[in-house]
Structure 1
Amino acid sequence: MTDIEIAIALFKITGTKMFTKKIIAATLAISGLFIGTTANAQAYAGATVGQARYNVDCAGTTNCKTNDTSFSILGGYNLNANWGVEASYNDLGKIRANVSGVAAEIKATSFDLAGVYRAQLNNNWGVFTKLGLAYSKGEATVSYSGFSASVSKNATKVVAGVGATYAFTPNFAGRAEITSRRVDLIGGDANVTNFNIGVQASF
């Protein structure tokens, strides 16, 4: 039964013209709300690459490296023109240091789930911010005289980010973003900041 048929049936039952007008108005308003939400809803996927920087102290070490190449694979869904959700897998690269002949290497990955707020500045440029949770895994490997041992640690902590998009076409855009999350490492935790650029496609 269509919305109009429902309204006519209510009119016959009540016999009140004013009541029917209110029902029709409410039905059309609710229908318009759902139509608007469906029109704005859009899924997207993308990938970015850049650099991850670990906020760790290199005091007392040699050959200390606190940044590395990182990459992300992401997917999201725009619930309407401004709000959406996004999930991503992030390889945060490796950091290395030597202490008295002992070589230490730490690498981390994370899976993020965040809410996204976006604003379109014009036909091409848009900005966004996101806030959510990052499930991360930090793995440390220590090597000395040909022997090595590894240990890992998992944690769930807050992730936050800001970024911008540039639409080349209605369904294809460039993307740049900065995200920050804390990762549990052996002996403590560290803040890891990502500076990434890439592309995303809507469908």
Structure 2
Amino acid sequence: MKKTCLAGLLLAMSSMAAAGEVEHGFYIGGAIGQSSLELEDADSTVDFNGDDTAYKLIAGYRIIDWVAVEASYSNFGKPNDEIFGIETEGDFSALAIEAVGLLPLGSFDLFAKGGIAAWEGTLRAEDIDVSVSEDNVDIKFGFGAQYRIGGLALRAEYEAVLLGFDDDGDDEADGDDWVDMVSLGLTYTF
């Protein structure tokens, strides 16, 4: 009887460990979510604040249980806002590379990441045919959680790029500018 109970306990523990095993190696994926673009003009009270649907494509490599590196392309959609009665639209995207720290908890991972993003963006007022474009390399960070089933992982994530955006054309970054995204996505490790 004791041997049967011990064997059953060992079998249950090994199946629980297998369910929480971490897949190492290359992974790819994508996500869709909601972006928010905030551009603050430090020289006036005129600020841009808009949101839109966004998506990203992901490629990464999980080196060990706790560390991965990840590259991504994010398209933050075309958020819009009205400034002085003029409809204004943003168009921002970014290529990023980040280090990812992971905390495996059985089949779940909590993660935080940080790196750099090469972004480009345009702010345009179509009605008066005015636009300002900018590109730069700035800090990107994020955090989230994922649930793993074998090589497939469902992830929820928040990420932001701090923008050095010159929205009035005076060759100076004007304030606390950033674009962020809350997303739900899938990755597959192979």
Indicate whether the TM-score tops 0.5: yes
Look up the match of 2:155. 175
Look up the match of 1:131. 114
Structure 2 vs 1, CA of residues 80 and 150 (structure 1 numbering), >3 Å: closer, same or farther? same
Structure 2 vs 1, CA of residues 84 and 149 (structure 1 numbering), >3 Å: closer, same or farther? same
Give the C-alpha shift of residue 101 in structure 1.
Answer: 4.9
Look up the match of 2:64. 80
Q: TM-score, normalised by structure 1?
A: 0.70
In angstroms, what is the RMSD of aligned CA positions?
2.4
Distance 1:110 1:166 in 2: 26
Give the C-alpha shift of residue 193 in structure 1.
Answer: 2.1
Equivalent residues of 1:40, 1:79 under 8 A apart:
no
Q: TM-score, normalised by structure 2?
A: 0.74
Higher relative helix content: 1
Give the C-alpha shift of residue 95 in structure 1.
Answer: 2.4
* Structure having greater relative contact order (Cα 8 Å, sep ≥ 6): 2
Higher Rg = 1
Gapped regions of structure 1 (runs ≥ 5)? 1-38
Distance 1:152 1:71 in 2: 21
Structure 2 vs 1, CA of residues 99 and 131 (structure 1 numbering), >3 Å: closer, same or farther? closer
Distance 2:120 2:60 in 1: 22
Look up the match of 1:36. none
1:148 paired to 2:129: yes
Give the C-alpha shift of residue 100 in structure 1.
Answer: 4.5
Look up the match of 1:102. 86
Structure 2 vs 1, CA of residues 113 and 53 (structure 1 numbering), >3 Å: closer, same or farther? same
Q: How many residues align?
A: 159
Look up the match of 1:200. 187
Matched AA of 1:172: L
Distance 2:30 2:109 in 1: 17
